[in-house]
Structure 1
Amino acid sequence: MTLLQLKEINSFYGGIQALKNINIDVNEGEIVTLIGSNGAGKSTTLKTISGQVKPKTGELIYKGENIVKLQSHEIALKGIAHVPEGRRIFSKLTVKENLEMGAFSVKDKKLIAARMEMAFDYFPRLKERINQKGGTMSGGEQQMLAIGRALMMGPSLLMLDEPSMGLAPIIVEQIFEIIEQLNKQGMTILLVEQNAYQALQIAHRGYVIQTGEIQMVGEGKTLMNNEEIKKAYLA
């Protein structure tokens, strides 16, 4: 079943067109990845879905509803969690407080506690750092916290923007293992990732985006074996 559809999306920054007639489908239970060079429109696509960038034309169909006119907080309440590039945790708040901020719309204290324990199950390091301020943690720990905070919303769709950026290879492996674990537990994931090899290894399907346009679509492993993709992104 299709969870999210982008239909003929055109997004702009001022007079500059960033996305050109973008069509993307994300099915329930999939990992879908967007790959492309810097400035290709990957992050803009996620920002458009989460309401930070309003498309000039096109439709965003989520669970059968066109959400294109909704504000960012309304889209989040619908079940779309966006972990932005650069993590953007609350550096002066503790791990516990950051996680609680992720559950801002949840009134049930038992549910909040259960989701926090789930975050700790995925990221045991966070439990060890529960009273530590976010800004004093390592880059990898901050990335874990950013994902954990998103999970506190109980999303149907988790969007991750460059989760491996600036992290040591061993931490990158851990993050991608957790992304796979989340997916195996039923989480639908839309992943933007500069590390195309890592992304295509775990993705069910991928979209190649260049200068704001979709250039290629295919299964993750098919794209990984494509000679053009190898030369452009996997060399």
Structure 2
Amino acid sequence: MAELNVSHYLDVRGIESYYGKIKALNGIDLHIEQGEIVTLIGSNGAGKSTTLKSISGQVRPKEGSILFEGKDITKNEPHKTALLGIAQVPEGRRIFPRLTVRENLQIGAFSVKDKKIVAQRMETVFGYFPRLKERLSQVSGTMSGGEQQMLAMGRALMMKPKLLMLDEPSMGLSPNFVEQIFNIILDMKEVGMTILLVEQNAYQALQIADRGYVIQTGQIVMEGRGKELMVNDMIREAYLA
């Protein structure tokens, strides 16, 4: 895979992605620097999740390019992108409900053969989510929505990702769990993790984001520092009212 001279950690350039004949993304441009939290906000159907899926390889763009650490990953299969260090926590969590918490976490480290490394990563996950340690033997489908979200994030962390993509992590959660999740995202940033956050709660997302992008009908229509977007009149009326 060719190395390209780029300045951004993740560089998405003019991607166009389709579902069948329906164009979902129409020339998306965005970038992320290492160690940033960048949020992507927009209404339902605007193309937020499709952008994440295009980066992770679940949807293959027909035009444009996606570069990660200087490598062109536009045509990668999802497992190859994951092995490069990009982990996605999908909307709706999508844990394995019939498996235990332990088994779900172990699946997150599918590429690691050394049991000591798996155990070390699990302890790192417990540092963020101590509740998971208390429920290691519990069947995950019997946990609350907030606990399942923690498990989904923990499973992604078992990959030791370089870039963590979170798709609507607060969806359907109680205010208490929402606050916990956003505090944990900030804790991850403190240790240098790079995060791309898609979030329905624009206020919470922009509060913690270094930068943000606004997407409408498959196009980026605005970008800026998180705090700047929070006081923008158009953003306030459309997403913060």
Band of TM-score, shorter chain: over 0.9
Is 2:75 the counterpart of 1:69? yes
Q: Which runs of 5+ in 2 are unaligned?
A: 1-6
RMSD: 0.6
Specify the code of the residue in structure 2 equivalent to 1:161.
Answer: D
Please report how far the alpha carbon of residue 3 of structure 1 lies from its aligned counterpart in structure 2 after TM superposition: 1.2
Q: Write the distance in 2 (CA, Å) between the matches of 1:20 and 1:108.
A: 43
Runs in 1 of length 4+ with deviation above 3 angstroms? none
Is 2:59 the counterpart of 1:53? yes
Q: Give 2:44's match in structure 1, choosing from 27, 38, 41.
A: 38
The corresponding residue for 1:189 is 195
Q: Write the distance in 1 (CA, Å) between the matches of 2:188 and 2:32.
A: 16
Q: Write the distance in 1 (CA, Å) between the matches of 2:114 and 2:10.
A: 28
Is 2:102 the counterpart of 1:96? yes
Please report how far the alpha carbon of residue 110 of structure 1 lies from its aligned counterpart in structure 2 after TM superposition: 1.1
Q: Percent identity?
A: 68
Is 2:44 the counterpart of 1:14? no
Q: Write the distance in 2 (CA, Å) between the matches of 1:106 and 1:121.
A: 20
Q: Write the distance in 2 (CA, Å) between the matches of 1:229 and 1:203.
A: 15
Q: Write the distance in 1 (CA, Å) between the matches of 2:153 and 2:174.
A: 17
The corresponding residue for 1:198 is 204
Please report how far the alpha carbon of residue 69 of structure 1 lies from its aligned counterpart in structure 2 after TM superposition: 1.1
Q: Write the distance in 1 (CA, Å) between the matches of 2:188 and 2:116.
A: 21
Is 2:167 the counterpart of 1:173? no
TM-score (norm 1): 0.99
The corresponding residue for 1:152 is 158
Q: Write the distance in 2 (CA, Å) between the matches of 1:164 and 1:2.
A: 28
Q: Write the distance in 2 (CA, Å) between the matches of 1:80 and 1:200.
A: 22
Specify the code of the residue in structure 2 equivalent to 1:220.
Answer: G
Which residues of 2 match residues 88-167 of structure 1 at below 5 A? Answer: 88-167=94-173
The corresponding residue for 1:27 is 33
Is 2:215 the counterpart of 1:209? yes
Q: Write the distance in 1 (CA, Å) between the matches of 2:188 and 2:139.
A: 25
Q: Write the distance in 2 (CA, Å) between the matches of 1:20 and 1:202.
A: 27
